[in-house]
């Protein structure tokens, strides 16, 4: 008798099935991971501008957007950030009380992320239902 070499058809089918199952699980998770990374990149793109808005507020400058790159800041110090490839955008809004005694808190909302599951959510709590 001859010695058989190679794999049987059933062994190859099992390997293909295992790869298909792993791909079905891994691809959606990878898309979520990249979307969250782009949101973080968009938030980081306006980190320096948050400081400038705070300085303008503490210096009692009438326009909180003074000294900020055009297009990143709109009225009342609202900042718009985008990822490097512009697929994810966020809006960061300062919450400033009238007496000016408490620190500025920031509210961040995802405008566009490339993944519909994150749009409209708080940037700090993306995993919330």
User: pLDDT confidence of 1, banded at 50, 70, 90?
Assistant: low
In this prediction, residue 90 carries a pLDDT of 94
- Residue 21 confidence (pLDDT) above 80: yes
Q: Using an 8 Å Cβ cutoff, are 22 and 87 in contact?
A: no
Look at the block and give the residue holding tokens 């500025």. Answer: 104
Which residues partner with 120 through β-bridges? none
Strand segments (E) across the chain: 73-74, 78-82, 89-95, 105-112
Q: Using an 8 Å Cβ cutoff, are 34 and 83 in contact?
A: no
Predicted TM-score of the model (pTM):
0.79
Cα separation, 129 vs 113, in Å, equals 16
Cα separation, 11 vs 8, in Å, equals 5
Report pLDDT digits (tens) over 80-119: 999 999 999 999 999 988 776 788 999 999 998 877 788 8
Tell me the mean pLDDT in the region 14-28.
94
Report pLDDT digits (tens) over 35-86: 999 999 999 999 999 999 999 988 888 899 999 988 899 988 999 999 999 9
Chain length of the chain? 129
């Amino acid at each position: 008798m001859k010695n058989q070499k190679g794999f049987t058809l059933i062994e190859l089918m099992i390997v293909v099935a295992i790869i298909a199952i792993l791909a079905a699980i891994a691809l959606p998770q990878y898309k979520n991971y990249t979307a969250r990374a782009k949101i973080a990149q968009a938030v980081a793109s306006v980190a320096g501008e948050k400081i400038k808005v705070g300085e303008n507020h503490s210096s009692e400058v009438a326009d909180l957007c003074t000294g900020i790159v055009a297009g990143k800041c709109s009225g009342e110090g609202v900042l718009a950030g985008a990822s490097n490839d512009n697929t994810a955008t966020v809006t960061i809004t300062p919450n400033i009380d009238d007496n000016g005694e408490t620190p500025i808190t920031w509210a961040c909302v995802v405008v566009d992320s490339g993944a519909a599951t994150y749009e409209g959510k708080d940037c700090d709590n993306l995993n919330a239902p």
